């Protein structure tokens, strides 16, 4: 399996990963967040430490993994990562997605925790300028998560993370869930 500096995005193909999704869905609090018909469509692994350090500027997650290209005026930003195809669907699709971040290690304030702009997920797709302006106006909240904790977010929530200065490996499994069907004849590249 190939990885970039931060990790890999292709874990849903692994049996252990699909079993972990099933286990997560047994949890009553998670079950209350993920609609029963939703499918897990992606799992990314991120690792961050003083030795394997990286930062992510403020952004929204706008791309979803799909099986094949479909020409439609509302689909843009086609890209390929680790051999998988991604597209930016309209906001009506993105605002239905849910991400869960399962923290394998403790993630304190110094470990490159996510910082988020509260309420930004409800504002649709934001330009970089609008994102930066909104962060200045509303402020960003750093979100430490304890070991084994799960952080739930909408992919449209503005988020960023700093380099780690602490001692955690800050390993995170980032799951993306969505509705079983996509519009425009799109299909998930993988769903479980
Ligand atoms: O884990 C992080 O620090 C950032 C992850 C991220 O930006 C993303 O999943 O889009």
Tokens of residue 64, six digits: 């979803």
78 exposed, middle or buried (CB, 10 Å; 0-12, 13-18, 19+)?
A: middle
The pTM score is 0.94
Band of residue 191 on the pLDDT scale cut at 50, 70, 90: confident
Residue 161 Cα: closest atom of ligand 1: 3
Q: Which fold has domain 7-60+95-180?
A: Jelly Rolls (2.60.120)
Give the domain ranges of the chain: 7-60+95-180
Ligand 1 within 6 A of CB of 46 = yes
Tens digit of pLDDT for each residue in 129-141?
999 999 999 999 9
Nearest CA to ligand 1 atom 2: 161
How big is the chain, counted in residues?
A: 192
Ligand 1 centroid distance, CA of 161 (Å): 7
Q: Give the distance, in angstroms, between the CA of residue 137 and the centroid of all CA atoms in the same chain.
A: 24
pLDDT in tens, 50-102: 999 999 999 999 999 999 999 999 999 999 998 999 999 999 999 999 999 99
- Residue 8's pLDDT band, with cuts at 50, 70 and 90, is confident
């Amino acid at each position: 399996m190939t990885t970039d500096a931060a990790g890999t995005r292709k874990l849903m193909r692994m049996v252990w990963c699909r079993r972990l999704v099933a286990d997560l869905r047994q949890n009553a609090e998670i079950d209350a967040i993920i609609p029963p018909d939703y499918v897990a469509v992606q799992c990314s692994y991120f690792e961050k430490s003083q030795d394997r350090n990286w930062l992510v500027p403020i952004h929204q997650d706008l791309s979803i993994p799909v099986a094949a290209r479909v020409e439609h005026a509302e689909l843009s930003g086609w890209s390929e990562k680790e051999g998988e195809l991604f597209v930016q669907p309209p906001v009506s699709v993105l605002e239905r997605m849910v991400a869960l971040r399962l923290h394998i290690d403790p993630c304190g304030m110094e470990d490159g925790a996510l910082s988020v702009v509260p309420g930004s997920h409800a504002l649709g797709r934001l330009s970089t300028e609008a994102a930066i302006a909104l962060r200045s106006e509303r402020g960003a909240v750093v979100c430490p998560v304890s070991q084994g904790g799960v952080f739930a977010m909408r992919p449209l929530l503005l988020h960023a993370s700093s380099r780690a200065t602490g001692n955690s490996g800050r390993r995170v499994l980032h799951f993306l869930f969505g509705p079983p069907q996509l519009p425009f004849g799109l299909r998930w590249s993988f769903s479980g």
